[in-house]
Structure 1
Amino acid sequence: MFKASITEKDKNIPRLFFVASGLVGILLYLVAGTANVVLDKPVHLLVIPRDCTLYQLRELLSKEKCIKNETTFLWTASILKYRPQDTPGLYRLTAGMNNWKMIRMLRGGLQYPTRITFSNTISKEELVEKVVNRIGLEKEALLSLLNDPEYLAAYGFSPENILTMFIPNTYEVYWTITAKQFFLKMHAAYQRFWNTQRLKQAESMGLSPIDVSILASIVQSETNNQQEAAIIAGVYQNRLKRNMRIESCPALIYLLKQEQGNLKRVLRKDTFTSSPYNCYRKQGLPPGPITFPSSIMIDAVLNYAQHDYLFFCAKEDFSGLHYFSRDYKEHLKKANKYKKALNAQKVMR
């Protein structure tokens, strides 16, 4: 039987392979496994824009002083077949992170959520501006959606009252969220807020959730005092029940600001303005909110104080508190005190 002889050279092949494998392993570790993220703080939030190429990302990381070795970053990205344009977004880098861990996170699209907070907003344009400043959402896309009557009607809203769907709060979203995804997220939050109890309260008032939010926006513009908010809401509810005009100064000011800019005083001639926001002439509530009412103010309306007041006016000490009256003569006496105080302070038009 023939028996192959094993030469010394043949015996060395496994050893050479083992050594080569070890060297490759060491090289890979040096390229991908050693720390490459260097920061002057524990965490850095990195925004990768849409259509960003690998070399543009390298420039971005270098500009923001996030990595110490650009070459090893590119090698690791090549090994892992990473394309930044496939997974744009906001990512959280931590000091000491290696190339392997960082690129696997980026390639997997493991984004870090962005927190969005909006309040004290009086228009769709302001809302959109606040939202798009925090994420990669296109301004025109969201604004177009909020002005689309057909799309909004499917959810029970109109371009005039759509702001009532946005309950002021802090929301977590991903940088790559689309306009429709953002809309649906806000609608889901709206539905959670309007639970069975709140819906029953609104129904007992003869108002829809949209009406309650519109009324709450007016009450919020009248006062920051939670106790008075419920009383003022009660005044407006009493007027609505009696089919009286609500005669809201904040709603009229909201209208006049759109036309004349900032103003501090409403004059009698302003009450003749023809507009659905002029509640001195129009019956019922205006077609939309005049600001973003907080959940506290919405609940103040839903839990309005039951009384027989039909009028109220600001106190002359400018404390932000109000006088409440049952009849018009009594109201005029108190209102004149406030007018005199305005004149004394030379608050004019």
Structure 2
Amino acid sequence: MIVKFIFLLLGKMGKRWMVRMGFLICIALYVTLGLPNIHPPNRLLIIPRGYTRGQLKEQLKNEGCIRNSVTFLWATYLLKYQPQNRPGQYRLMGHMNNWQLVRMLRGGTQHPVTLTFATAANKASLVDQLVSGIGLQKETLWALLHDAKKLSAYGFTPENILTMFIPDSYEVYWTITAEQLLLKMYLAYQRFWNATRLNKAKKIGLSPTDVSILASIVQAETNDQQDAAMIAGVYINRLKRNMLLQSCPMVIYAQSAKQSGIRRVLEKDTYIDSPYNSYRKKGLPPGPIGLPTIAMIDAVLNYAPHDYLFFSAKEDFSGLHYFARNYAEHLKNANKYRKALNQLKIMR
């Protein structure tokens, strides 16, 4: 269209003026489209949804990404580029000219975003981590993770959906939708639960979801991998004997809706009516009490076989635990920890 207009214009002029005007037009086009305009090189640019040409020009100008914002704006008109049609994250390479830049943006050639998460205290914490680097609205993802019908298609519920998210680094596009993100996490979940891990879970008598739920409880007890394998063994022994798990972190989780920051579980706390109150409800809860790391999941799958039924934190606050076979022995260990808490005046 532009070329046709130029020829029509030149056709109405004399030969000399045609040469002069053609020369000037070529210079103008070269300045507008051909001159390098990116500065400095290798910058990441995020174009939000609904952005206009003017807003994009101002952003590039204010962030020091381009040398000449006017020629860039003209290039967007000449190449019929509308930013709102191609939001996303893009990499600006050094010495790019406006022609190359606008063609990349117009074509939607995005640079992927790396999503990384290792653990999360709860679903809200995970959602915050996931949406922090992409253009997905927090409310949209939150609603999807509470949509029982859509989650059931993947074999999960709003209570246990956290177990589908395997901590790792993932490459996604800035424009990824909530449904696309959920599918990506599900495919990663399937790859993680390979034949080896599935066979280990089967030998324990737990499903992959159950393993992750138990791993979240173990993770709340310790950060030490060797200790984690021992604690996992205690819980598995209790499950096999149909005993109450009596997990303090689970009680804290159950109480968190009423009171946060509990540092010490009291007897009155164990009377709360909740499926997460393992002092009153047998078996595993309906969902995890946090997002377990891969190391904690593997600690459960590779738990330490033993005949211990009790464990108590050591009084040196090292994060390690004493293990006992009977309640009398456990009570002695627990009293050491209680005395340490009392000395520090941690009464609640």
TM over 0.5: yes
CA–CA distance in structure 2, aligned partners of residues 255 and 184 of structure 1: 30
Matches within 5 A, 1:256-271: 256-271=255-270
CA–CA distance in structure 1, aligned partners of residues 295 and 119 of structure 2: 14
TM-score, normalization: structure 1? Answer: 0.91
CA–CA distance in structure 1, aligned partners of residues 247 and 88 of structure 2: 45
Matches within 5 A, 1:275-314: 275-314=274-313
Deviation at 1:16, TM superposition (A): 8.0
In structure 2, do the counterparts of structure 1 residues 124 and 15 end up closer, same or farther at CA, with 3 Å as the change threshold? Answer: same
- Worse-matched range after superposition: 19-28 or 305-314: 19-28
CA contact (8 A) 2:120 2:292 kept: no
Amino acid at match of 1:290: I
Matches within 5 A, 1:14-25: 23-25=24-26
1:153 matched to which residue of 2?
152
CA contact (8 A) 2:255 2:272 kept: no
2:28 matched to which residue of 1?
27
2:201 matched to which residue of 1?
202
CA distances 1:126-174 after superposition (whole Å, capped 9, x unpaired): 2222222211102221111110111111111111111111111121111
CA–CA distance in structure 2, aligned partners of residues 214 and 300 of structure 1: 12
Residue 189 of structure 2 is aligned to residue 184 of structure 1:
no
CA contact (8 A) 2:119 2:293 kept: no
Q: Secondary structure at the match of 1:156?
A: coil
Amino acid at match of 1:334: N
1:171 matched to which residue of 2?
170
CA–CA distance in structure 1, aligned partners of residues 161 and 42 of structure 2: 38
Amino acid at match of 2:234: V
Q: Secondary structure at the match of 2:121?
A: coil
CA–CA distance in structure 2, aligned partners of residues 138 and 344 of structure 1: 47
Q: How many residues get paired? A: 335
- Worse-matched range after superposition: 208-217 or 251-260: 251-260
Amino acid at match of 1:36: N
Gaps of 5+ in 1: 1-12
Amino acid at match of 2:217: I
Identity level (%)? 61
1:36 matched to which residue of 2?
37
2:130 matched to which residue of 1?
131
- Worse-matched range after superposition: 61-70 or 202-211: 61-70
Amino acid at match of 1:88: P
Gaps of 5+ in 2: 1-13
- Worse-matched range after superposition: 319-328 or 77-86: 77-86
Deviation at 1:63, TM superposition (A): 2.1
Q: Secondary structure at the match of 1:237?
A: helix
Residue 341 of structure 2 is aligned to residue 342 of structure 1:
yes
Q: Secondary structure at the match of 1:92?
A: strand
Amino acid at match of 1:242: R
CA–CA distance in structure 1, aligned partners of residues 279 and 258 of structure 2: 17
CA distances 1:104-140 after superposition (whole Å, capped 9, x unpaired): 1111111111122224423222222222221110222
CA distances 1:54-84 after superposition (whole Å, capped 9, x unpaired): 1221122122222221221122222222111
1:324 matched to which residue of 2?
323
1:234 matched to which residue of 2?
233
Larger gyration radius, structure 1 or structure 2: 1
Deviation at 1:24, TM superposition (A): 3.9
Q: Secondary structure at the match of 1:235?
A: helix
Q: CA RMSD in A?
A: 1.8
